[in-house]
Structure 1
Amino acid sequence: MHYRFDRYELLEPRRELRRDGQPLHLGARAFDVLLVLLSHADRVVTKAELLDRVWPGAVVEENNLQVQISTLRKLLGERAIATIPRRGYRFTLPLTDAATAPPTPAGLPAQRAAPGNLPAALPPIIGREAEQRMLAQALQAQVTVSIVATGGVGKTHLARAVAAQWRSGERAVWWVDLAALRHPALVAPTLARALGVQEAAGHTPEQTVADALRDQDGLLLLDNCEHLLPAVVRLVEQVRAAAPRLRLLITSQQALKTADEWVYRLDTLPLPHGDALPLVARSTAVQLFVQRVQALQPGFALDAGNAAAVAQLCRRLDGIPLALELAAARVPLLGLGGLAERLDQRLQLLRGHGRRGLSRHDTLQAALAFSHGLLSPDEQAVYRRLGVFAGSFSSAAAQAVAADAQVDAWAVLDHLAALVDKSMLLLAPGDTPRLRLLETTRAHALHCLAEAGETAAVQARHAQAIAAQVAAMAQDYWAIGDAEMRARCEPDHDNLHVAIAWALAHDPALAVRLVGDAGPLWREALSQQPEGARYCEAALACVRADTPALDHGRLLHTQAWMLIWSQQRRARSVALRAAELLRGTPDTATLGMTLLLLIPGTTRPDATQEAALAELQRLHSPQAAPRVRVQLLSASARLAMGAGRYDEALQLYGQARELLDGCGAVQWAGVLAWTMAGIAMTLDDLDFAVDTLRQTADRLDAQPVRGIFLAFALGSLATALLLRGDTAAARAALARAAPLIVRYDLGFRYAATAAGLAAAEQRWFSAARLMGYGESARRASGVDAEEPAELRVRARTDAALQARPEATALASARGAGRLLDTAGAFGVALGQT
């Protein structure tokens, strides 16, 4: 399309304005404003329409539009554009044959391309040196190299650095930024201008470009191609045919998919793997963030005091260079703490700050809105619905959540593949592939979900999908090993949190089922007993008079197992009620696990314990799954322990442990090994106890989850070593156990060992304080009875303290120790306080 008015002529394909046949200099934004006004010369064009057409997806102040209008009036005359108050603008000059008048001939034949246009001075590259070297090497072997990534990751910066390295070999480099183009027909003319050539009569723009580059051996960098892919592909194919020695470097959110294309998917910048200063300082994401802060606040430095805060900020920003730069610009005003507090509103917080005019490269909102605009309506629907997932998710879960009456589950699969292809969704391939949105992208998806009015419905589908996964895992628990269970549930741990939180607030019945089914996850796969106990308390408030006995019973069963290690009396009371509810339901396996809690193994058997064993015997057949048969063996062993038949108990526990080892139940087998070692210590077979606990601790320590059962193994190993007189080894074992003892609040179990270690090292006042701590901790826990080995250590330490000449002062220290918490007590035990 071209337009004539007065002495002027606008040629849209060439993006050129002429007066009396001579080209005029006109900025890109002013040209776009004029083009919109000319194409709607028959009516008023509103300010909102102009802003949307000229700055699509960007947040732009209205004065930017006023500046462009002023520029056009200076060039065309004040009467060319009329302002319509409170409405917009209208082009007022009469047009002459706008659609049919031939353009003024350019008059220049096709010519060779000028020797490159890449700026001589480019900003330094930070954190991409390895990628730069790799891509430079790829260009030596590949004719077309594409850097593909979502917006804001730094494709342009990296590509220009690679191109500059190529230019250093005295080869021409042409850089063409297509970001501002709105129409595919403008691709070739824009490239022609960059090459410094004009179209000859009878030649198309594509032919002009191909002729200009014919037989060239330089590098053509086509930047920001994602919104014009078909036109770019056509042009690339013509250029490749004319210039087989030419190298092409492409940046796009989606690959071209040409035959000779070599695609490199650019990731975000590497994040720190810990919070210690050396680890944080090595992260290139941190290096970029710190460099950008220092440019605005020269006194800023990364140090031990702020390393953890900087690391957390970079993680929450996903290592996205654009996000890091925009966040760094806020630090002088907000500080690190203020920035962190506001990151939940990152789309509003991380906006451009005037340096580059709020283009789609200057604000996260604009970059994401631009990428979102490239999606089809159905792709947009799937994209926004994926925002409810926390962390990664499976394709099956995505189908359950994103499908509806308009987009069926099979179509969702196609759209997921498209979103990966367009760099809006990350894919971690493998036997069980996982998909993930960057957190910044997720914030945008949730914003779109809210705008579409779908938040409530999609959150409900998400909670139901996660509940179905957890219910299936709970049913399979009896037949699968720890590794498979963990592989199935650990990736969705964050989604479980989100689903439970939603169910607690909106669907009480679902909350009861979901928390009750999650017991095996918290008990063994993830070893998150304190977390599970908190959720159980919250879910119990959702129980109603019409709650099914099965759901209520499973919830109480889960709560009892969360409490048994730290609040034994309360746990058994809860287990009694759970057993009442589960009787008469088809879930005999869960009932059996509940009955097991009613047999402590530390007291002489009574009628309740014997009845529990008898009920277990009725419930389970010899053909039951190994985990189920272990219930009966463990119950029998506990009764034997309580009756003092230790050899029988060891034999029964050994059989149960073999069953668990055979089905891969490493965590539960570790509990049985710990119990067997406790029996050995009771029998004074300390060598067996030490060997068993060392092997068990090493095996559990090698598992991906360092949990409560490892705390038992290490704490009891310290006890056994102390009884054997190996003080140094006991200290080492207790030091390994201490963080876990604190995490799971197990201080009451190992307070005597901690005091005994201090006494063995002749730290008498520390020993006295720890004895006092143990007294208060045992009372708070409601423990039924102490392990015999702990009783021996405590009695020995008590006697040693009473024999000291400063016994009166030690008694006072003992009283002060009752005020210690678990963390403080084990700091005293290891001489840290």
Structure 2
Amino acid sequence: MHESPTGAPAPASIEPAGNRICFGAHELRLDTRQLLSAGQAVSLGTRSFDLLVALIERRGRVVSKRELMSLVWPSTVVEEANLRVCMSAVRKILGPDVIATIPGRGYQFTARVANATAHNAQEVEPGPAPASALQLLGREALFAQLHAAFEEARLLTLIGPAGAGKTSLARELQAGGMHRNGVPRPIYWVELAALADGELLAASIAQACGVTLGDDGGHRDLTAALRSSHALVILDNAEHLVDAVATVAHALLDACSHLRLLVTSQVRLKLSGEVALQVPALEVASAGTPFEEALKTPAQALFMRHCWQAGRSLVADQQTLDLVADICSRLDGLPLAIEYAAAAVPVLGLRGVASSLESRRLSLSANRRDAPQRHRNLRTALSWSVSLLSPLEQLVFRRLGVFAGSCSAELFDAVVNLEGADPWSLMEALSELIDRSLVVAPGDLSPRYRLLETSRSFAMEQLQERNEMTDLRARHALAVERMFTRARAAALAGHIAVDEAIDSMQPDIDNARAALQWALARDDDMALSLSASLAFVLRRAGGDPEARRHLLLTEPLAERCPEAALRSGWLREAIYHWTMTDLSRASRWINVAELGYRELGDEAGLMETLALRAFVLNRAQGDELLINALLDEILRLDGPQFPAQLRVFCAAAVMYCSLRLGRTQDFAWAAGLAGRCSAGDTFGHASLVCALMGTYLTQGQAAQAVELGETLYAQLSQSRFKRAIYWAPISLVRAYLAADRLDCALALASDCFKEDACSDTLHAWVDALAYLACLAGQHECGARMIGYGDAHYQATGGHRLTAQMYFREKAIALAREQMGQAHYAQAHEAGGWWADLDMQRAGLQVIATPRTGADCAATGVSE
């Protein structure tokens, strides 16, 4: 057993096969345990070096994590995290494409290796044929599926959009070879892209296969020549000759019982016995994914590889990988588009590429002279695909470009069918676009249709060139506004459940944003209606900051025409929002709304507005006589004729006010309504329950508050609205602390904060964690957290809810008492400069701090 430079024994199973191993620009010197990159020695830890050697010696096969851990740490029990750290260190030096991650199986060294002596070098074969496919990042499972399919089928078609990598996958199959009973099967490649005449197809196949046709030169001669052949014939880029290819393929498979055919095309041949394999886009890790993990994701790894090949290696850090994630997402994970974008990095830089995609500049190219003519740039590739469509299919394709994201069948017909054509002919055209991989249609029960982002940019260019954009944008905005208004009105009237309305509207939020942008410059009424509907959805989907932006943007329109603001629902949604963020602004618009509803005789609108007025006055510690009068009128108006969600909201507002005014009978009414609250309004139900919990806590009934909170949290844990109603578990933490159940409070805070720490709801837990920090004696940390939270809300214009304000006030009181005002102010100011990462680390430290029950009692938390 040899010793490492540090004196640690190297694994016994790793014996050097030679003095040096060379791969790419790297050289591994086994005798001196050195790694050289471009001739320069680089630092690699002992275990990372052993890991690299183990993988190289087992190249050609997948090495499991368990096996690697036993090789690199032969006498030590270690966690899998140790392996990930070493793997990350190796990849930082070698780049992302030398070691492939095989999901669920392990790792494989994929670079070509040459063993070198002092005098010469001899290339070593890479191993079994299928291993070559690992050069295509993220295609391991698909490549294995391709091989398995040929065990049963004789005709296999790889389908996918332009640039998905169909040809590359076929090339890898050709390079790796196929075998029949251990004997290599001949493989012939037939390039069809340049072939314009289907009559010449048989001759092209014959030429590629090295056979001679008779005077007829048709497929009968071809089938006769290949009758006894065991070859695999690859027909690449068949979409423009699909009818001719289907005819010849059928004849060959019928007459040549041993022949296999592999076809790459944007559309399947639709022959019996054909197995169609979809070549999907590469997986893209979202921004915020830890960069070590993102670096292993196929799309990002491919982008980094192409940058390295283009002479601009990128630093693999979090900021870089987040920007790469944004670029790859905009390119829908298409390998060809990723290659083109990476090729532009040496000229534009990473941020320049992102900006060019933002402005829809599609002229990026790979700058490769060996690229097929149709793939020289993105526009050429898409133009090739669209040119194969019929006139009606081309019309549907470019009109789909007006949708931001996807659309439903209902919205598709309302927008695309300008001429009032037969809907079935449009659906047939849409079906052909799906078959040709130009349109994606996820979902089975209610499919939605969308163009890939690169295709959408091309379609919008086509609309502009034909002067169709203006009319289509107007039709799109009108259709979206009508759909949103209809769903919102039905929910508010109680005709459908609120949750059902939100579910129907959420998939088209991007379309509504685009429609609002169009309407702002052209149609005030439509802009008010769309902003109201967006606020209605976003408030329940965790999008308060965006809702605020839309309302502020359209507020001047409401001031010019208050009647339109009332009619469109803008007033209602604006008042709802500003009751929590801007009491003076809310009061001003409440006056407008109350007057309007009284003039119209709209009792439902009036009751809701009175409840909002009472809520605002109570928050501002306003006139008790006026609040009493408002509650009396609300109770007079209330009745079963009103929608359940309206009654639930009014009950919550009454509950907030009744205890302060000593109106215990009103509290009982509201609590009873909470128990009878109908399903279908998760947001409203949660609001009422949390209000009831707060009231119980004020009365010292912590056990009742905990019972309500636990039931609500269990329901929300399975709900799609969980993230939007982030304040419910915070209320439950407060209830646990009031009930002297510190362990439960910590466990809940830990689970929720770990889930939210890297999301846009990080700020939600700041106040509760600040208080928990103070309970553990970490008063300076608590003060810094409050400073971070205050800075966040000031910067975003957001607001704290009741439970958050409770924790903030308690944390401030404890911190000031222990630290003194001057020291507290310094810590608070320092926290205002914290980055999100600082808050994440501090929060995780707080919830990991051991506590005892005495901590809770000593600070009077149950008061």
Where does the alignment leave 5 or more consecutive residues of structure 2 unmatched? 1-128, 847-863
Distance 2:487 2:655 in 1: 28
Distance 2:758 2:314 in 1: 39
Question: CA shift at 1:546, angstroms?
Answer: 5.5
Deviations 1:595-623 (A, max 9, x none): 32112256587454345445545655424
Distance 2:149 2:580 in 1: 58
Matched, 1:571 2:586: yes
Distance 2:837 2:315 in 1: 33
Distance 1:696 1:261 in 2: 52
Tell me: CA distance 1:567–1:265, structure 2 relative to 1, closer, same or farther (3 Å): same
Question: CA shift at 1:268, angstroms?
Answer: 1.0
Give the residue type in structure 1 aligned to 2:211.
V
Deviations 1:467-518 (A, max 9, x none): 1111121022134445423321221121121111111122222101222233
Tell me: CA distance 1:475–1:741, structure 2 relative to 1, closer, same or farther (3 Å): farther
Deviations 1:286-327 (A, max 9, x none): 222222222233754534452222222211111111111112
Matched, 1:682 2:698: yes
Tell me: CA distance 1:625–1:556, structure 2 relative to 1, closer, same or farther (3 Å): closer
Structure 2-normalised TM-score? 0.73
2:668 maps to 651
Matched, 1:700 2:716: yes
Matches within 5 A, 1:265-304: 265-273=278-286, 275-297=289-311, 299-300=313-314, 302-304=316-318
158, 164, 170: which is aligned to 1:153? 164
403, 407, 422: which is aligned to 1:393? 407
Matched, 1:125 2:136: yes
Deviation larger for 406-415 or 535-544: 406-415
Contact kept? 2:730, 2:804, Cα under 8 Å? no
Matched, 1:521 2:534: no
Contact kept? 2:323, 2:350, Cα under 8 Å? yes
1:583 maps to 598
599, 602, 605: which is aligned to 2:614? 599
Question: CA shift at 1:235, angstroms?
Answer: 1.5
Distance 2:605 2:546 in 1: 20
2:682 maps to 666
Distance 2:809 2:201 in 1: 83
Deviation larger for 650-659 or 429-438: 650-659
Question: CA shift at 1:434, angstroms?
Answer: 1.0
Distance 1:310 1:775 in 2: 32
1:624 maps to 642
Distance 2:722 2:640 in 1: 33
Question: CA shift at 1:656, angstroms?
Answer: 2.7
Tell me: CA distance 1:765–1:154, structure 2 relative to 1, closer, same or farther (3 Å): closer
Matched, 1:224 2:241: no
Contact kept? 1:187, 1:232, Cα under 8 Å? yes
2:448 maps to 434
Distance 2:192 2:776 in 1: 74
Could you say what the CA RMSD is over the residues aligned between the two structures, in angstroms?
Answer: 3.9
Give the residue type in structure 1 aligned to 2:502.
R
Give the residue type in structure 2 aligned to 1:490.
Q
175, 189, 198: which is aligned to 1:184? 198
Question: CA shift at 1:153, angstroms?
Answer: 0.7
Distance 2:758 2:584 in 1: 20
Distance 1:123 1:779 in 2: 50
Distance 2:138 2:832 in 1: 50
SS at match of 1:442: helix
Contact kept? 1:425, 1:437, Cα under 8 Å? yes
Tell me: CA distance 1:793–1:319, structure 2 relative to 1, closer, same or farther (3 Å): closer
Deviation larger for 274-283 or 721-730: 721-730
Matches within 5 A, 1:359-758: 359-405=373-419, 407-477=421-491, 478-481=494-497, 483-524=499-540, 526-543=541-558, 545=560, 548-549=563-564, 551=566, 554-585=569-600, 588-600=603-615, 606-617=624-635, 619-646=637-664, 648=665, 650-660=667-677, 662-707=678-723, 709-711=725-727, 713-724=728-739, 730=745, 736=752, 756-758=771-773
SS at match of 1:704: coil
Give the residue type in structure 1 aligned to 2:392.
D
Distance 1:160 1:788 in 2: 61
Give the residue type in structure 1 aligned to 2:549.
R
1:321 maps to 335
Contact kept? 1:719, 1:789, Cα under 8 Å? no
SS at match of 1:542: helix
Question: CA shift at 1:439, angstroms?
Answer: 0.7
SS at match of 1:429: coil
Question: CA shift at 1:658, angstroms?
Answer: 3.1
Deviation larger for 789-798 or 573-582: 789-798
Distance 1:515 1:236 in 2: 55
**Larger Rg over CA atoms:** 1
Distance 2:270 2:259 in 1: 18
Distance 2:246 2:795 in 1: 72
Deviation larger for 732-741 or 418-427: 732-741
SS at match of 2:150: helix
Structure 1-normalised TM-score? 0.76
1:237 maps to 250
143, 146, 153: which is aligned to 2:154? 143
Give the residue type in structure 2 aligned to 1:565.
M
SS at match of 2:401: helix
Matches within 5 A, 1:161-200: 161-165=172-176, 167-169=178-180, 170-200=184-214
SS at match of 1:306: helix
SS at match of 1:302: coil
Distance 1:680 1:782 in 2: 30
Distance 1:500 1:408 in 2: 29
SS at match of 2:157: strand
Matched, 1:215 2:228: yes
Contact kept? 2:581, 2:799, Cα under 8 Å? no
Distance 1:789 1:519 in 2: 23
Contact kept? 2:571, 2:593, Cα under 8 Å? yes
Deviations 1:427-465 (A, max 9, x none): 113221111111111111111111111111111111111
SS at match of 2:725: helix
Alignment length (residue pairs): 705
Deviation larger for 306-315 or 783-792: 783-792
Distance 1:826 1:180 in 2: 59
Tell me: CA distance 1:582–1:741, structure 2 relative to 1, closer, same or farther (3 Å): farther
Tell me: CA distance 1:552–1:822, structure 2 relative to 1, closer, same or farther (3 Å): farther
Contact kept? 2:542, 2:724, Cα under 8 Å? yes
Contact kept? 2:731, 2:803, Cα under 8 Å? no
Tell me: CA distance 1:153–1:585, structure 2 relative to 1, closer, same or farther (3 Å): farther
SS at match of 1:138: helix
Tell me: CA distance 1:823–1:569, structure 2 relative to 1, closer, same or farther (3 Å): farther
1:356 maps to 370
Tell me: CA distance 1:515–1:404, structure 2 relative to 1, closer, same or farther (3 Å): same
Tell me: CA distance 1:191–1:591, structure 2 relative to 1, closer, same or farther (3 Å): farther
Question: CA shift at 1:818, angstroms?
Answer: 11
Tell me: CA distance 1:209–1:547, structure 2 relative to 1, closer, same or farther (3 Å): farther
Give the residue type in structure 2 aligned to 1:487.
D
Tell me: CA distance 1:408–1:588, structure 2 relative to 1, closer, same or farther (3 Å): farther
Distance 1:770 1:550 in 2: 40
SS at match of 1:146: strand
Deviation larger for 292-301 or 412-421: 292-301
